[in-house]
Chains A and B, each alone.
Chain A
Amino acid sequence: MNAIEHPLPFASWESRGFWEGAGRGELVLQRCEACGLVQHRPRGVCAHCLDGSALTHFTASGSGEIYSFTITEQNQAKGFAEACPYVMAYVKLDEGPRLLTVIVDCDPDDAAVGARVVADYVSQNRDDAEVFAVPVFRLG
């Protein structure tokens, strides 16, 4: 079992704040100061106001709990095939929204709905000027 080779994230201007934040070791979410919504995935507008003028980025705690998960035993995709079995999970962040991620350094038998997790960041070697990382989580 090898570490996952994460495909390089591609950032649009809508999602740039998230990936740049991860590059700094921060989990960055969006909040609409007009209605209070904390949303993920990031968008160019608040999905409820349909307006981006009050949208801000903030650094979340990086803590949450496993909402659900699976132990992936088969995935032919490059970067994942050699990493099976790996724990893919939805994590419910303490700030509210849920995100898709993987739980690293986790014995498959230790993964559980409701388990507390914290964010970590896998740096990317890229051939462009971006400094991005992929947020992953570990039990803790």
Chain B
Amino acid sequence: MTTTAFPRGAAIAGVYEHPSRFSPNKTEFQIMAESAKGALDDAGLQRTDVDGLFGASMSMGLMGIVDLAEYLDLYPDYLDGTNIGGSSFVAHVTHAAAAVNAGLCQVALVLYGSTAASNSMAIGTGGTGGSRNPDAAFSAPYGMTTVGSYATYANLHMDTYGTTSEQLAEIAVTMRQHASLNPRAKMRNPITVNDVLDSRMISRPLHLLDCCIISDGGGAVVVTSLERARDLAKPPVQLLGCGEAVQHQGVGYSDILTIAAKQSGARAFEMAGVKHSDIDLAMIYDSFTITVLATLENLGFCPVGEGGNFVSNGGIALGGTLPVNPDGGGLSSNHPGMRGIFLVIEAVKQLRDECDARQVPKAELALAHGTGGTIGDKHSGATLILGVDR
């Protein structure tokens, strides 16, 4: 099957999740290189087959993608260092598929690596010291933090729709339950709704256990044409639909409760020509519990305002209405700063039936949605709909 956007077909031919959750003796680029080896081995490809290089990280700045090419001693025909936050790698898959379909490259390698945990990086609550950036000048004086921005969203959602902290806690409980089935997950001991509610308040209404963990880690994804992928080592996973979007403050009037996922998701579903009820599992960026609820509503898996009920009573657990993040997500498995690449990797492994105890039975269609930046303030969203080859 091909889509109008990708007449040659686009497929993910190889993936690799770096096993490390704490790597004080490694660099970001080393983690990316080890991940590249893993994904190329998975696909049955060589380093020298790569002619498209995609990547981003927390510290890659101006010309970072060129630095990465140098580190790997690669001379690709196509470069893309797009950095739109944690969703970057979800977007990279789309960009790679477009480049492959345009004939600009044949084998695209998407990379991420991070040592956020071993650097003791305060990702969520280290917000806003002074800044000379004139734009940041309007947030720096007010102590905006990442978790604080999500908390303003959560408060508004609670005020508007009656969503409760107990319902948000259900999301954390389900992610931990999934993580207990994932031998690589960082946090595997089961938790209860009360454990979440009793955990320290970080930014009301979000508690410590409403927040993702901080780990090291990285991963890699290989994108190529469907035809090429069919000749490689693993069954291809097809890219059937995709979308990207942003939401931000605009000139001060935007509807904050409507997040980027609404626009990117609608486009991905339209392109793929599938219904929500066709989706077997969803990989949803879970920086915070509220991120999952907001994303499921905006993607259309439930009506806006009904996310609280949707995620309760095992609704997003394995065996539930829509299994979400069988790997345990950023809330319990790993979150090295920008988690988007793991959404793609786990979706692919699920569609290849490689997930053992946490496998969604007979998974044929998966959705992955990455959020970058901060919901409640400005953020990006990128959606993929992936399917088995048939």
Contacts and interface: CB of A to CB of B under 8 A. Distances in A.
Q: Do A and B come from one complex?
A: yes
Interface of A: 4, 6-12, 14-15, 19, 37-41, 47-48, 67-80, 83, 85-86, 88-90, 93, 96-102, 108, 112-114, 134
Contacts of A39: 251-252
What is the interface of chain A mostly: helix, strand, loop, or mixed? loop
Please name the 6 residue pairs, one residue from A and one from B, whose CB atoms are nearest each other, closest first: A97-B252, A7-B130, A70-B151, A12-B134, A71-B204, A39-B251
Interface in B102-146: 122, 125-135, 137-145
Contacts of B253: 96-98
Interface of B: 122, 125-135, 137-145, 147-148, 151-156, 159-160, 200-206, 249-253, 256, 376
Contacts of A101: 142
Contacts of B205: 70
A94 B314 CA distance: 43
Contact of B138 (A4, A38, A41, A80): A41
A99 B145 contact: no
Given A68-B153, A76-B122, A98-B253, A8 B148 contact: no
B134 A7 contact: no
A41 B127 contact: no
Contacts of B256: 67-68, 90
Given A47-B250, A68-B376, 20 more contacts: A7-B141, A10-B133, A10-B134, A11-B137, A14-B134, A71-B203, A71-B204, A72-B143, A73-B200, A73-B202, A75-B143, A77-B126, A78-B129, A83-B143, A88-B143, A89-B152, A90-B256, A93-B252, A96-B253, A102-B142
A77 B127 contact: yes
A108 B151 CA distance: 14
B131 A7 contact: yes
Nearest to A108: B204
A68 B135 contact: no
Nearest to A15: B134
Given A9-B137, A10-B137, A97-B251, A77 B143 contact: yes
Nearest to B206: A70
A68 B204 contact: no
Contacts of B154: 70
B135 A74 contact: no
A88 B142 contact: yes
Contacts of A80: 127-128, 143
Contacts of A85: 204
Contacts of B129: 7, 77-79
Contact of A70 (B131, B133, B139, B155): B155
A36 to B, nearest CB: 12
B144 A100 contact: yes
Contacts of B144: 88, 100
